Structures are given as structure tokens and as C-alpha cells.
Amino acid sequence: DPPTRNARANLPLTMALSGTFTYAFIPADESFPVEARVGDKSGGLSDDFLAKEARRYFFEQSGGAAKAAALDNATPEQKKALAKRMREQAGGPMAGHMSKLDDDALINIMRTTQASASCEIIALTVPTAANNRLAVSMYGADDARVRDLPLNHRATALMVACGHRPARGDDGKDDGMRGDVFVGRCKDDEMADVWERVDFTVQDADPGSEWCVQARGK
């Protein structure tokens, strides 16, 4: 009999996922081609290579790594000045709350909000019986509109081809994905207790692909 979900959690490491998978990198700059990149499957869902790689990429691209290093290397005097500036800049209900926090607490808030790795994840498809339990997700910078990154026309076209509306905001800027994006696919069958990265190729990034047609007609 196949192992249960709980039993699988305790399987020896030798039975863990292995091998590699292909995912796509779609630059916003259309003078650069869509790239096929390779990741390691072994992390599974809990330590997914693509999610980590996307967070790392957008963290570095936004200057987050430099901000984190600056906070880590700041002198006590510099940290005190940063905390003072945060209190002065706080407005509304936050002003009273921040005035009660000590310098270390304020620096930790700054580290969490300004120097932590994150990204936006958009589900282009969800796993269903009709699509063989295959899910496709797009990863982009979660502050792309705030930083006014350039529109990514290829990523936007792919999103629309799957039946989604272009990414929107209430800032008056054009709709659509902004900045570079990653796209990956996984096999996600909860009943069979399966979650595994599978290939998403450069050809799959074509809005005319069959999987897009299927997703649009769901």
C-alpha cells in the first residue's frame, strides 16, 4: 500500500525528491529573450527552489540586500539616528505606537519591512483533474508598481492568454505586469500526496500555447 501523508513526512531522505526542473525567466526588456533556467527539485514544497530564487532576485534587484547589510553594519549611533527618524516620520495612529517602542524594536521593524526578501505570486492556473493537476505560477516584484518598473508586455500577454485580467492598481499607471518575472509549473495532487516541480519551457511561455488555451476555456 502507498504510504499515508503522515508516513511520507517521515520517509528517509534517500526517498526525497531529486533531479532538476526547467522554469522560465521573462525580462521586462524585450531586447532580451525569454530564458530557460534550471532548478533543483529536492526542496519540494516546503523549501521550493523557485520561490526562494525569485525572492532572492527581487530582494537584490530592489536594493534589499544593501539595506540589510547597512542595518547589520550600522553603528549604535547610526541605529539611534535611524530610530529617531522613524519616530519623526510616523504619522496618524502609528505615531503613538512607535513612540513607545525602543530603538532595537524600531530597527527590527525596519529590517522586516524594508530589508526582507519577498515577491508577488500569481496563480495562472490552479490544479484540476482537467489539467492533470498542473499548476502554473508567475513570480514578480511585489513593489514593482511603487518603484515604477517598466511594463512587462510578454508576461502580461501570458496572463491574459490564461484568461486573467492584467495586473491593476489605483495609481493611474497602465495595467499589466511590471518588471522581470519568473514562471514555473508544479504537479500538485493533494489526494495523491504529490507536490513536485515539473518543466515549464520557453515554448510554454508563448501565449499561444495549448495550456493557455485550456486555462482560458476553463
- pTM comes to 0.73
Q: Give me the tens of pLDDT residue by residue for the chain, a chain 218 residues long.
A: 444 444 444 433 334 688 999 999 999 999 999 999 999 999 999 999 999 999 999 988 877 666 777 778 888 898 888 888 878 776 665 666 777 788 888 878 776 666 566 789 999 999 999 999 999 999 999 888 888 899 999 999 999 999 998 877 666 678 899 999 999 999 999 899 999 999 999 999 999 999 999 998 86
The sign of the torsion formed by the CA atoms of 169, 174, 177, 178 equals: negative
**DSSP track, 61-82:** HTTHHHHHHHHHH--HHHHHHH
